[in-house]
Each structure stands twice: as structure tokens, then as C-alpha cells.
Amino acid sequence: MENTAVAWNPSLPGAKIEDTFIILKDGELENLTFDPKWPSVKVEGRDRPLPLKID
């Protein structure tokens, strides 16, 4: 599975998010879609983007 790309696409009514990861040699995941400049919060040890608020 090393160097394999996988996508995670959970959704709820009115909400959707998708991440793309590369499985690394040690089995860890590298998130290719996370932008460290976007506001985020840690959820179960992983940085998750905060929703965009449009006023």
C-alpha cells in the first residue's frame, strides 16, 4: 500500500468534506489537501479545516 493515494469523503446533510492522502512507507498518512494557512482545529490528533463563514 506504500505510495498509494486514497480519498476520504464523509458527508452529512448540508455538509461535505474530502481529503486526499498518500500512504507513506511507515504506514502514516500524508494529507495532500490540508492547507496550513487555512484556520483549523485539532480533532483526534489531526488538523481539520474550519468551515468558511459567509456573512
Residue 14 pLDDT > 90: no
The mean pLDDT of the chain is 89
Contact between residue 22 and residue 3 where contact means Cβ atoms under 8 Å apart: yes
Model confidence band, residue 11 (pLDDT cutoffs 50, 70, 90): confident
Nearest alpha carbon to residue 31 among 43, 22, 40: 22
* Residue whose C-alpha cell reads 468534506 in the numeric block: 17
